[in-house]
Amino acid sequence: MEKRVTFKGLWLPLLLILPQIAVTVVFFFYPAGQAIWQSLFIPDPFGLSMQWVGLGNFEYLLSDPYYRTSFVTTAVFSILVTVVSMAVALYLAVLADRLIKGSGAYRTLLIWPYAVAPAVAGVLWLFMFNTRVGVVTWYLGQLGYDWNHVLNEEEAMGLVVVASAWGRISYNFLFFLAGLQAIPKSVIEAAAIDGAHFWTRFRTIVFPLLSPTTFFLLVVNIIYAFFETFGVIHTITSGGPQQATTILVYKVYSDGFVGQDLGSSAAQSVILLVIVSILTVVQFKYIERRVHY
Amino acid sequence: MAEQTGMVEKRGLGLWLTHLGLIIGVAFIFFPIWLAFVASTVENQDIIRPPMPVWPGDQFMENYGRALTAGINAPVAVMLWNSLIMAMGIALGKIAISLLSAFAIVYFRFPGRQLFFWLIFLTLMLPVEVRIVPTYEVAANFGMLNSYQGLILPLVASATATFLFRQFFMTVPDELAEAARVDGARPMRFFFDILLPMSRTNIAALFVILFIYGWNQYLWPLLITTDPEMNTIVMGIKQMFPSGDDFAHWPTIMATSILAMIPPILVVIGMQKMFIRGLVESEK
């Protein structure tokens, strides 16, 4: 698609696009290039010189049990966050869609968590489940359950998953509700006349018609879980206990800044770069399809 | 549509069950926020001897006053101000440079146009999280640590906003540009007098999304600001927890958490229509 009518000029358009390109090159491409370059070296212990190791950093990483565990942790974490937040959001959207009056009021209430930063969500959930003062911890204790996410790996994972999914419900809810409202009521009523009950209608008509929304949300939520949940993990568990909640993004940070292992951190950046690229391509492929409907 | 009652809408018991289900959902969503609010209105003793109360206490003014003026590492009022500058800088900066680049890409033919477009597109694949260390080094070399430029500039490029404006400019009738050209109007005159006013709703919708994006940043401010006076509120909360085994001062921390939520919540609720529009548009 191109404009028929354009303005003449060479310097003006270059000048107009310059700020964006300058920021892009200085803060995006140069650092990304640096990451790729650094991933091929290891600095000597005094940081004075760099030694070329080729793909050594990658070989080391892929044979490092901690890194492999981090991959599994990331996969488990992303799947759980995606499934939990989408399931709750779909449940709420289906209910809100059944209302003629009042769904707007629920929508206003349900979009709040979108505005809450992941790091703040982390602090809120940490407070409820704090091992010493948490309200939920205390009531669980009364029931005879000893909650301690500081020591227990499954509980730590459960807590960061719930805190991350909580913040994501609003977003998924809005897209599911929009998707549901776009389904023609006549289709559903026709099925109702044929005697299909709610669950049958949902399974055979609503859910299939909702599949473009669902697929889109799957991709977007996985990207969210991979890259935007750093704040939740940093505030609640700092990757612990025993690295049980160290997802890949957290590991780049902790190896690069806390551990100062620059070669490894750079190699991890490159691997993440490949993952984002794949996810972005998937997202855009899908969107291309949606445009052609 | 509005008054018509379809046969699949629930009445009676079903309607009540629907409301009940939604109310349970809303309660689940609000429970953490409510507890944080309660904790921000009581004394620390009420919290460190669990279970904490479920209804607000009488320390509202004391706790918020103490947080805003003294805080723990820095007054929260200062952190709020830093967050406001960062969020506004990122939102307005992204909108400004994206409007200009979309204008250049759509309304001019110049060498490298496609290349530039792809360069902007590729930034989608480079979130801060994957280039943490080298980006930090660049910012440090520019002397941008502990500065507003450092907080804002590295996040200000935007593929999403550029696409959105490009899509929108494509739908603007050619006759308008034609007329402007015939009248001898210079390109920037056309941009400011015609294109910019027409983009108002898109700009507003995008602003909501980008403001929240900027306000809620965590990792970048964590790296770039070591001086508590430069902390943003979202990253500053974690810094308020004592290291070691001391008890945290929960009322102050929770008052800060509530303060950190208020501006983005006001923006989302106040501009709800714009927000939903922006959300859907920017994901296209």
> Do B101 and A188 lie within an 8 Å CB cutoff?
no
The answer for B 111-150 residues in CB contact with A (under 8 A) is: 111-113, 116, 119-120, 122-127, 129-139
The mean pLDDT value for B68-72 works out to 87
Among partner residues B47, B156, B237, which is closest to A23 by beta-carbon distance? B156
> Do A227 and B129 lie within an 8 Å CB cutoff?
yes
Among partner residues A4, A124, A171, which is closest to B32 by beta-carbon distance? A124
What's the confidence (pLDDT) of residue B157?
A: 85
- Of A99-103, B202-206, B257-261, the one with minimum mean pLDDT is A99-103
Among partner residues B25, B48, B283, which is closest to A92 by beta-carbon distance? B25
- Given a cut of 50, whether residue A292 has pLDDT beyond it is no
Q: Which residue of A has its CA nearest to B36?
A: A124
Among positive and negative, which fits the CA dihedral B158, B160, B165, B166?
A: positive
Query: What CATH number was assigned to the domain covering residues A56-291?
Result: 1.10.3720.10
> In chain A, what are the domain boundaries?
56-291
Q: Which residue of A has its CA nearest to B268?
A: A115
pLDDT-derived band at B4, boundaries 50, 70, 90: very low
> Do B50 and A88 lie within an 8 Å CB cutoff?
no
> Do A24 and B8 lie within an 8 Å CB cutoff?
no
pLDDT > 90: percent of chain A? 41
The mean pLDDT value for A5-28 works out to 90
Is the CB of residue B178 less than 8 Å away from at least one CB of chain A? Answer: yes
- Of A35-49, B23-37, B182-196, B230-244, the one with minimum mean pLDDT is A35-49
- Given a cut of 90, whether residue A219 has pLDDT beyond it is no
Mean pLDDT, rounded, of chain B: 87
pLDDT-derived band at B3, boundaries 50, 70, 90: very low
In chain B the domains, ranked by start, together with CATH numbers, are: 85-230+263-282 (1.10.3720.10)
Is the CB of residue A50 less than 8 Å away from at least one CB of chain B? Answer: no
> Do B119 and A13 lie within an 8 Å CB cutoff?
no
- Of A231-235, A288-292, B52-56, B78-82, the one with minimum mean pLDDT is A288-292
Which residues of A fall within a CB distance of 8 Å from B26? 106, 109-110
pLDDT > 70: percent of chain B? 94
Mean pLDDT, rounded, of chain A: 87
- Given a cut of 70, whether residue A144 has pLDDT beyond it is yes
- Given a cut of 90, whether residue B44 has pLDDT beyond it is no
Is the CB of residue A149 less than 8 Å away from at least one CB of chain B? Answer: no
Interval A240-291: pLDDT, tens: 788 899 999 999 888 888 777 778 888 898 998 888 888 888 877 765 554 3
What's the confidence (pLDDT) of residue A90?
A: 95
What's the confidence (pLDDT) of residue A163?
A: 96
Which residues of B fall within a CB distance of 8 Å from A269? 130-134
Q: Which residue of A has its CA nearest to B104?
A: A13
pLDDT-derived band at B141, boundaries 50, 70, 90: very high
> Do A23 and B216 lie within an 8 Å CB cutoff?
no
